[in-house]
Amino acid sequence: MVIVMSSKATEADVQVVTEHVEALGLKAHPIFGVERIVIGVIGDERLIQKDQLSLIPHVETVIPILKPYKLASRELKPEDSIIDVAGVKIGGKEMVVIAGPCSVENEEQLLQTARSVKNAGAKLLRGGAYKPRTSPYVFQGLGEEGLKLLQKAKAETGLGIVTEVMETADVELVAEYADLLQVGARNMQNTRLLRSLGKTKKPVLLKRNFSATLNEFLMSAEYILSGGNEQVILCERGIRTFVEYTRNTLDLNVVPAVKQLSHLPIIVDPSHGTGRHDFVIPLSRAAIAAGADGLIIEVHPNPAVAFSDGEQSLTLEAFQELMKEVGIIALAMGRNN
Amino acid sequence: MVIVMSSKATEADVQVVTEHVEALGLKAHPIFGVERIVIGVIGDERLIQKDQLSLIPHVETVIPILKPYKLASRELKPEDSIIDVAGVKIGGKEMVVIAGPCSVENEEQLLQTARSVKNAGAKLLRGGAYKPRTSPYVFQGLGEEGLKLLQKAKAETGLGIVTEVMETADVELVAEYADLLQVGARNMQNTRLLRSLGKTKKPVLLKRNFSATLNEFLMSAEYILSGGNEQVILCERGIRTFVEYTRNTLDLNVVPAVKQLSHLPIIVDPSHGTGRHDFVIPLSRAAIAAGADGLIIEVHPNPAVAFSDGEQSLTLEAFQELMKEVGIIALAMGRNN
Amino acid sequence: MVIVMSSKATEADVQVVTEHVEALGLKAHPIFGVERIVIGVIGDERLIQKDQLSLIPHVETVIPILKPYKLASRELKPEDSIIDVAGVKIGGKEMVVIAGPCSVENEEQLLQTARSVKNAGAKLLRGGAYKPRTSPYVFQGLGEEGLKLLQKAKAETGLGIVTEVMETADVELVAEYADLLQVGARNMQNTRLLRSLGKTKKPVLLKRNFSATLNEFLMSAEYILSGGNEQVILCERGIRTFVEYTRNTLDLNVVPAVKQLSHLPIIVDPSHGTGRHDFVIPLSRAAIAAGADGLIIEVHPNPAVAFSDGEQSLTLEAFQELMKEVGIIALAMGRNN
Amino acid sequence: MVIVMSSKATEADVQVVTEHVEALGLKAHPIFGVERIVIGVIGDERLIQKDQLSLIPHVETVIPILKPYKLASRELKPEDSIIDVAGVKIGGKEMVVIAGPCSVENEEQLLQTARSVKNAGAKLLRGGAYKPRTSPYVFQGLGEEGLKLLQKAKAETGLGIVTEVMETADVELVAEYADLLQVGARNMQNTRLLRSLGKTKKPVLLKRNFSATLNEFLMSAEYILSGGNEQVILCERGIRTFVEYTRNTLDLNVVPAVKQLSHLPIIVDPSHGTGRHDFVIPLSRAAIAAGADGLIIEVHPNPAVAFSDGEQSLTLEAFQELMKEVGIIALAMGRNN
């Protein structure tokens, strides 16, 4: 932590800060510059709150030096984490594609999709049974009935199941059916849910909130990791910007940023990230070229009648095309797929 | 709903769209323009999904005409809603100030603050017992013990209690103690929580998420209203932008926007909205001048030792100054306070 | 400047940085922390480029301590600057309202507006002769003919003239007619234009770009100040965000931020800032309550036939109402008007 | 154009709107819906201003149907435009890489870079002689001397020259030296400059402003095209968002968006787009995978001593690595390079 004093600060002011710093169990190291006095603080700044120093008279700014997360950091664990989801390894050499409908609607829709995406090369099946919708007047998911249909699809195709859990109270139930528990973007900072996922044994797919900084994203992962569950996969799904031609702005810059700062795998969701089926294939290619470990793609046998997210869903045929095009890029990147 | 056909669309394409529209129970009304065919759709577009029409061949765009919310709209209810919170009326002629610490820390801190803000003119007491923090390593609130301290403060000062509820499972418990149940910004789209609040009899303070559009904000209110609870108060608390001198960008434009489109009261939280104690007073004056129905302000006897949000908390003295300055503006606006 | 070394840095790496720092004429002061080595740099960091240090091996981050601007800073000049525009003082006790049409269209439109806004209490007349329009197919301003009409309006009403200059080549001509030279938001970083304005004797109204940080805004002022022209007035006119109910997001947080960091006056443009005539009055009140030194308002005798910006222009009657409502707030703020 | 009437509008109000529409030379076509009356307007809406209709009483919203640009649209010209820059074709099958230093500093720096990037496969040489810097206190470019050095580099290496022009007054001079005239992001809406470039015979590289929507970006291209110069190449270089780990947020979503709506080529600048040399290679791969026609990359023999933008410049070796990695992706995309 570095404390910048205001231009009017005297040595006496520095003394006051020093005493505060020491009372917090840290050491202060003042540097007398030409225009400012700056105080270096030695010790683990994560244990104190910035406010405890920034409000002392004549303190201008307090600048944290250390990242707020520990367990999620590559500094702590230099090698890549590889997460095993029903036998599929995410974060290693393999590029993994998760595919399936936004919502589980009925047996036929789900099984037809599952078979088709499996044939095209998907490794895991996604499908929502509990749906957090913007409007209270539209379909909110089939609930446990949806989970049972996912189980059926797994039994038939062998694809592991990825599905969302919306609330602490549902974790146990959803974990019975799911191989990978998804935390939706709107719940990225639902700290209760994150804590309860820290106690499960199932891997977690943590989606980035629309307005989350990287620090916030990794701190949400830290909640799960610090609870004892090391199996966290990050997912970029678009940020909110002023841009008008996509529903969100898929941010591929976060891929190398995560790879640099964290050991956790990161996959990309171009379906939500763009909100447009016609942009999903080019952005999927770009995501893999940027270094993402995989993709999660919405697919529906007939998007025009989908209960949700039809505009961003690929048809079964378009998904086959995606797998072909993305496969070539993965190959160029030296990845298996 | 207006459907814009692509420039290549033929009459046959229009026929296909017309059939789809009619199959959905609506009526299509095509207009043959110079460069485009546009189809007006007559009927309640809220009952269908945009995707069901946008994916038909040669449809370029589908433009919704109606607002997605109904119960929250001023069209449905032209007169202002006035919500009674422990005898304090929010949304009427009175300007209401809610004040108190970010977190309930201990009895002395809470009672000292409660007495002081009451003397300064605050009408309700805020204080967090359950805290959604970014970091898993910092104070997360006293829980039910905090609620009991709030109860004690109410018993002594007579101030009604405003406190956050983070999860469906806690609603019943928190509702026993609180007069106004706060939904935090991070939970604005926690649809489960919103639904359960729709079933309580207590008023709800719904904080806007950092990246919520006005449609999304009012749709979250709609969840509560459509569950049967008409007592919703909106709260602006800053949006996420590129700006560097405030933690968030307090958006006062939303005040006249809400007043135009909705009958619900709106108050402003300049403490979270700016994240800076030294900006709270000017932005509080501005909020009232923009037409807000009240304020919610973080106050702490000694912000430098606050367990959370010290940088944005006012001292007891600064809060008195705020009440004085804001009172003059409220008077200029013809409000009681 | 503070240099944070990576966790792998050795003393030898620190030595390399130290040599670089000293070669730049500054002094290095390393602090050996528990997890990081941090190097305080003593001397005027504004004279060097961050990159010259951040690219040395094992340097993790370089954090500037000093603000990049000097002449615009309140540190250099603690008292408020008061700028005289044709006898009207901006930045002092008086609240100053500038009003007039977006574009000068013809003599009648301009004179009718000028007379009316003067009667209502405006102190200066705005009107565009050179218009930077988004589309090449619409009205681009009357050019010098427009300037002559402004001169005529000044002769009749005595109101000083505020008008935009778009290019270095026009500065001399526009300065002959204008009392306050406006730099539009799109030109805030047109450094050539800023430099040429640094050499005129006329005051400059510098509008903030939609995406300018406060540092960038004040650095643009610094260009003018460092050229020798001390008469700069800042103007907030909305930033670009994800928000959908206003054309821009008027950012009133910048008002106390400017007041804290700079001695320059700041006025607010709620017409462009919101893009909606029906939000201009509440946001004008809020701007004055936030501490702004004045307003600039678009007014047109018949907005529905305006050549530009009709949607955000007030009628003559609405402007009278604005002056009345804003006057009451100014009074409450202890300002003359 | 579609006009949505307020819920209170009567047939008489519709009549008033109809008369206005017809007075503007267009035809009105009202549709009487259940909750709203909607009026379809037939004719070229680009010739009128939205405000002329939106301010009529009981008009709620006016929704444009047609894109504001014509010459830049793919509708007008379905096939891709291929622009010839000194014999290099941009927008066709070839992937084109432009490389060179941010600023031209001296002969040795420029020639060394030019030779090296040519050997690595770059097709054009970039280098700034006129630099729009945020601070008035730093290097602003060598001016014409810089142009002469670029000429020398071209004579030696045969690489065509890409350099920025900042002002109308400089267009003629810069056009003598440059093969591709660059318009910087800060000048994207400098309409005077755009108009003067519409009259040159040289191709123009138009960089997207940090906060430009796609409509605004293409409207700036339209300024140049409508002046008679059809040789416009678009360039994405990052948008301004809340994100903290990159200087800007490189927006690759714009690549398929431009390809869909316009016939103009688009290249990507990951150097400015990310502001970080360590992210340039992954985002370059991603840009090509997303379908971009080329890249523009900052390269410097010794970034740590660069006069500008050192943090985002690649070394000569890193650029070779970039060409190798990007070449493989280009190949996977079926492009020559």
- Tell me how long chain C is: 337
Residues of B in Cβ contact (< 8 Å) with C250: 252-253
The mean per-residue pLDDT over the stretch D14-37 comes to 89
The CA distance from A252 to A289, in Å, is 10
% chain B with pLDDT above 70: 100
Size of interface C-D (CB pairs under 8 A): 125
- D245: nearest Cα among C52, A212, A253, C49: A253
**Cβ burial, residue C87 (10 Å; 0-12/13-18/19+):** exposed
Reported confidence tier of residue D295, pLDDT bands at 50, 70, 90: very high
Structure tokens at B287: 């909020």
pLDDT in the model for residue B49: 75
Of A298-312, B161-175, D71-85, D159-173, the one with minimum mean pLDDT is A298-312
Mutate to test the interface with A, among D253, D259, D268, D278 (most CBs of A within 10 A): D253
User: How confident is residue B54, by pLDDT bands cut at 50, 70 and 90?
Assistant: confident
Alpha carbon A264 to chain centroid distance? Answer: 10
Mean pLDDT across chain D: 94
pLDDT single digits (tens) D219-253: 999 999 999 999 999 999 999 999 999 999 999 99
CATH fold of D2-63: Alpha-Beta Plaits (3.30.70)
C199 C-beta neighbours (distance < 10 Å), count: 11
pLDDT tens digit sequence for B109-142: 999 999 999 999 999 999 999 988 888 888 889 9
> Which amino acid does the sequence have at D221?
A
Nearest beta carbon to residue A211 from set B137, B140, B210: B210
pLDDT by residue (tens digit) across C186-202?
999 999 999 999 999 99
Per CATH, B2-63 and B83-332 having the same topology is answered: no
**Chain A contacts of B51, Cβ < 8 Å?**
303-304, 306, 309-311
pLDDT of residue B45: 79
How far apart CA B175 and CA B129 sit, in angstroms, is 13
Instruction: Note the Cα A123 to chain centre separation in Å.
Output: 19
Closest residue in D to B34 (Cα–Cα): D43
User: Cβ separation of C187 and D192 shorter than 8 Å?
Assistant: no
Question: How many cross-chain Cβ pairs, A to C, lie less than 8 Å apart?
Answer: 55
Query: Looking at residue D216, what is its pLDDT?
Result: 97
pLDDT value, residue C23: 87
For chain C, percent of residues with pLDDT exceeding 90: 80
Chain C residues with CB under 8 Å of D192 CB are 166-167
Among chain A residues, CA nearest to C241: A242
Looking at chain D, the whole-number percentage of residues with pLDDT higher than 90 is 80
CB crowding C99-129: b at 16 or more within 10 Å, else e: bbbbbbbeeebbbbbbebbbebbbbbbbbbb
Q: Which CATH class is domain D83-332?
A: alpha beta
pLDDT for D33 equals 84
Q: Do D289 and A213 make contact, defined as CB atoms within 8 angstroms?
A: no
Task: Find chains touching chain C: ≥3 CB pairs under 8 Å.
Answer: A, B, D
Query: Is residue D281 pLDDT above 90, yes or no?
Result: yes
Q: Identify the contact set of chain D against chain A, taking CB-CB distances under 8 A.
A: 211, 213-215, 239, 241-246, 249-257, 260, 273-274, 278-279, 282-283, 285-291, 328-329, 331-333
Paired tokens of A166 = 């919306």
Question: What residues in D contact A273, CB-CB < 8 Å?
Answer: 253
DSSP secondary structure of A3-72: EEEPTT--HHHHHHHHHHHHHTT-EEEEEE-SS-EEEEEES-GGGS-THHHHTSTTEEEEE--S-S-STT
In this predicted structure, the answer to whether residue D55 has a pLDDT above a threshold of 90 is no
Residue B63: its chain D contacts at CB < 8 A? 2, 63
Tokens 């619409």: give the residue: C138
Confidence of residue A36 (pLDDT cuts 50, 70, 90): confident
Identify the helix (H) or strand (E) that includes residue B316.
helix B316-332
Q: What is residue C260's three-state secondary structure? A: helix
Flag whether pLDDT at C314 surpasses 70: yes
Q: Which residues touch B84 (CB under 8 Å, ≥6 apart)?
A: B90, B203, B231
Give residue-wise pLDDT tens across range D92-122.
999 999 999 999 999 999 999 999 999 999 9
Q: Which band of pLDDT confidence, cut at 50, 70 and 90, is reported for residue A127?
A: very high
CB contact under 8 A, B213 and C244: yes
Q: Where are the beta strands (DSSP E) in chain C?
A: 2-5, 27-32, 37-42, 59-63, 83-85, 88-90, 96-100, 124-126, 160-164, 180-183, 204-207, 232-236, 266-268, 294-298
Average pLDDT, chain C: 94
A330: confidence class by pLDDT, cuts 50, 70, 90: very high
pLDDT in the model for residue C337: 65
pLDDT recorded at residue A337: 66
Chain C interface disruption, residue of A65, A239, A261, most C CBs within 10 A: A65
CA distance C178 to C198: 16
Does B283 contact C256 at a Cβ distance shorter than 8 Å?
yes
Amino acid at B111: L
Indicate yes or no: CB of C36 within 8 angstroms of CB of A242: no
Between β-strands D124-126 and D96-100, what pairing exists: parallel, antiparallel or unpaired? parallel
- The domain ranges of chain B are 2-63, 83-332
Distance CA D202, CA D76 (A): 23
Q: What is the predicted pLDDT for the residue at B34?
A: 80
Round to whole Å and give the CA distance between A52 and A29. 17
Beta bridge partners of A182: A164, A205
pLDDT tier at B337, thresholds 50, 70, 90: low
